[in-house]
Amino acid sequence: MVDDSIGSGKRVGDFIQLMTNSKTFLSWWSGGFITLHVLSYARTRQSERVILERTPGSDHGARKIRLSSKLKFDNDLVYDVYNIHTRWGNSCQSILSLCSSIKNIAKDRRKGFGDVMGNIVFYHSVPNNIPGLLFSKNNGWNPLFPNRSLPDWTIDLLEKKTNSSESSEAGFEQLQVSNSMGSLLKLIRAGLRTRASLSRRLDCDERITQELVDQAIQLGLISNNIRLLKAGEDYLLKEQRENPARKPDYTMYIPQSWCAGQGTVQPSDHDASKARVQTDSIDLELMDGDDGESSLERTDAIATSSPMRDVPQYPSWARERHIPHGPTGLKE
C-alpha cells in the first residue's frame, strides 16, 4: 500500500478493511499467506496504532501468526503529532494561536485533518493534514495553496532557493554530512545509544536510523558500539564554531515567582467575608494585634490545625471489664 503522507491513518485503515471484506482474501490473511507493506514518505507515530486497530488480527501470545509480523511499515520520515516544536520551531505556539484565530476556516480543519499540524507538501498534491488556512477556501478566505495544489510561483521559488543553496567544501570540509547525520551525532554525544531512542528523537523509522548509523560507522564518525570518534567530535566542534548557539536575552527577564495575578492580590468577596467571619469569631482576649485585627499566630494556628484535635483521651477498659453504658463521669 503506497501513500505520500499518512497523518491520522484512517484512509489506510479503510483500504485494509475494504480488502479484508473479501472472504477469500481474509482467509489468506488469517493463514499468514499475505504480508502487507505500508509505504509512504512520511507518517505519524499515532497512525500506526489506528491502522493496527482497523486491521483484522492480534498480537496475543496465543496467536500462531501475529498481526505485527504480517503488517509492516516502511517510511522515510516518522514524527510525533504532539511534538510540534520539532516541525514548526520556536514560534510554534504563535502559529497554533494564529491557526485557531481564523474563524473563516472550519474548526475541524484549522489544525489540519485530525489536528496533525503537518508541514509537508508535495509537487503533485498538498495533504489535508497541514493547517487549514494554507489550503482551505471558505467564506472568502484565499489560501496559499488553493485546491490543495502548489502554484507555479511557489515551485519556481523553491527550485531557485534550492539551486542557490548548493555548495561544496574542501579537505575534511568536503565530507558531505546531511542534517540528519549531524543530528544523529549530537544525540550520540548527548548519551543516546539505542536505535529505538535515536529514531524517536530523529522522527524517522528505525530502518532509516540504522542506515544513518551504518553510514556514520563507514565514515569513521562513530564506533561500532555507537560512540563518537575523533572525526565525529571534530565535525561537531567545527559546526559549533560556524553556527554558534544563540544566547537568549535575559535583560527583560522577570522570574515567574515574582509575578502575582489579580486573583492572588485581590481576594474575592466571598473569601473576604469568610475571612472576616473567622476573624470576628476569635475571642478578644486572645488577640495581640491592633484593634479589629486578630493575631496572626492565632489565625495561622486555626488555618493549619490538623484534623486530629488535641482532646483528652482516657485509657480504654479491658474487654472483660466493658461497661455497656459508658464510663462514669470524672470526679473533681
Q: Which of 79-83, 252-256, 287-291 has the highest mean pLDDT?
A: 79-83
pLDDT at 201: 81
Residue 112 phi, psi dihedral angles, 5° rounding: 90, 165
Strand positions, DSSP E, the chain: 2-6, 36-44, 71-79
How many residues does the structure list for the chain? Answer: 332
Could you tell me the pLDDT band of residue 316, with boundaries at 50, 70 and 90? low
Residue 326 has pLDDT above 90, yes or no: no
> For residue 304, how far is the Cα from the chain centroid?
39
Residue 298 has pLDDT above 80, yes or no: no
Could you tell me the pLDDT band of residue 15, with boundaries at 50, 70 and 90? very high
pLDDT at 280: 47
| pLDDT > 70 in the chain, percent | 69
Q: Are 205 and 78 in contact (CB under 8 A)?
A: yes
Which pTM was predicted?
Answer: 0.50
Burial-class residue 303 by CB neighbours within 10 Å (0-12, 13-18, 19+): exposed
pLDDT tens-digit map of 256-288: 777 765 545 555 555 555 545 454 444 444 444
Q: Supply the DSSP symbol for 146.
A: G
> For residue 255, how far is the Cα from the chain centroid?
25
Residue 139 has pLDDT above 50, yes or no: yes
Alpha-carbon torsion 140, 141, 143, 149, what sign? negative
| pLDDT > 90 in the chain, percent | 9
Residues 6+ apart with CB under 8 A from 141: 102, 104, 105, 133
Q: Which of 91-100, 148-157, 316-325 has the highest mean pLDDT?
A: 91-100
Could you tell me the pLDDT band of residue 170, with boundaries at 50, 70 and 90? very low
**Least confident residue range of 163-172, 215-224, 251-260:** 163-172
Could you tell me the pLDDT band of residue 22, with boundaries at 50, 70 and 90? very high
**Least confident residue range of 27-31, 138-142, 144-148, 186-190:** 138-142
Residue 270 identity (one-letter amino acid): H
Q: Mean pLDDT, the chain, as a whole number? A: 75
Residue 171 has pLDDT above 50, yes or no: no
Give the cell for residue 149: 495544489
| Calpha distance 220→231 (Å, rounded) | 7
**Least confident residue range of 17-26, 177-186, 276-285:** 276-285
Residue 227 has pLDDT above 90, yes or no: no
The domains located in the chain, with CATH, are 2-79 (no CATH), 85-158 (no CATH), 175-241 (1.10.10)
